[in-house]
Amino acid sequence: MEIRGPRLLPARREDIELLTRDGLRLVGELALPETADPVATLVTLHPLPTAGGFMDSHVLRKAAARLPALADLAVLRFNTRGTSSPRGTSEGAFDAGHGERHDVAAAMAFVQERALPRPWLVGWSFGTELALKYGRDHDIEGVILLSPPLHRATEEEVAAWAQDDREVVVLVPELDDYLRPTEAMARFASIPHARLIAVEGGRHLWVGETQTRRVLDEIVSAVNPGALPLHREWPPS
């Protein structure tokens, strides 16, 4: 059957809790390959919770549903402080990207405790701001930025990645509501090694199976390119 929509592929899935340095409990889920050890780890950072973003925002949910089986990746999703989803509500209150630095740190501490390999931060919209602002503080291989609005990350915080040899992959939708490719090229020019991918026809919310597949393909291309091309049917034909 074709892989599309909310279909769950086989994986080991575990409800988890993260404890922040300022004493909050955050709810989340870890998805692992069903039988193999993961070759890399995606630590996902969701869109703006005050605009409906949460750990189940569709691209992140589909990454967790598909990539453990299709690309041998571990996928960690969680609700940042004050955010609710069917999994539950994380303690605390939205802090506009300030206190959320502790949420990122709690996720990375969990990765370290579980000895999950080769972590990458995958941020979407608001989540890209957290990745840019706080990702350099942690042991990661790189960041993947989906629809970065660059509302909260300062020019100095962006430019700081120029002094860092870790990978910076930026997916910018052609029809984004906040930052389109031409402006994004200028805003990320301070990072010479950043790889900016303009997605023709793409929109900020990546709605539709075609756009979802493009995002997942680009994530896997950065993290585990040997898994490409991703199967479009399950079981694989």
pLDDT score recorded for residue 79:
98
Predicted confidence (pLDDT) at residue 145 exceeds the cutoff of 90? yes
From CA 92, how far away is CA 81, in angstroms rounded?
Answer: 5
- pLDDT at position 132 is 98
Res 7 pLDDT > 80: yes
d(CA 165, CA 26): 31
The Cα 3–Cα 9 span in angstroms is: 9
pLDDT of residue 107: 98
Q: Which residues contact 98 (CB under 8 A, 6 or more apart)?
A: none
Q: Is the per-residue pLDDT at 237 higher than 90?
A: no
Residue 138 near residue 114, CB atoms below 8 Å: no
Give the mean model confidence (pLDDT) for residues 141-158. Answer: 98
Q: What is the mean pLDDT of residues 146-164?
A: 97
The arithmetic mean of pLDDT across residues 22-50, rounded, is: 98
| Model confidence at 159: pLDDT above 90 | yes
Confidence of residue 101 (pLDDT cuts 50, 70, 90): very high
209-223 and 58-71 helices cross at what angle (nearest 10)? 50
Sorted by where each starts, the structural domains of the chain and their CATH numbers stand as: 12-224 (3.40.50.1820)
Nearest in space to 85 (alpha carbons), one of 151, 15, 19: 15
71's tokens:
């690309």
When pLDDT is cut at 50, 70 and 90, the band that residue 16 belongs to is very high
pTM above 0.95, yes or no: yes
- Asked if residue 105 has pLDDT above 80, the reply is yes
pLDDT given for residue 188 in this prediction: 98
- Where in the chain does DSSP place strands (E)? 12-19, 25-32, 40-45, 73-78, 84-85, 88-89, 119-124, 142-146, 167-173, 195-199
Q: What is the pLDDT of residue 38?
A: 98
Cβ atoms of residues 29 and 87 within 8 Å: yes
**What mean pLDDT is reported for the chain?**
98
**CA 107 to the chain's CA centroid:** 12
Q: What is the pLDDT of residues 164-221, one digit of tens each?
A: 999 999 999 999 999 999 999 999 999 999 999 999 999 999 999 999 999 999 999 9
pLDDT in tens, 39-94: 999 999 999 999 999 999 999 999 999 999 999 999 999 999 999 999 999 999 99
Residue 153: its pLDDT value, please?
A: 97
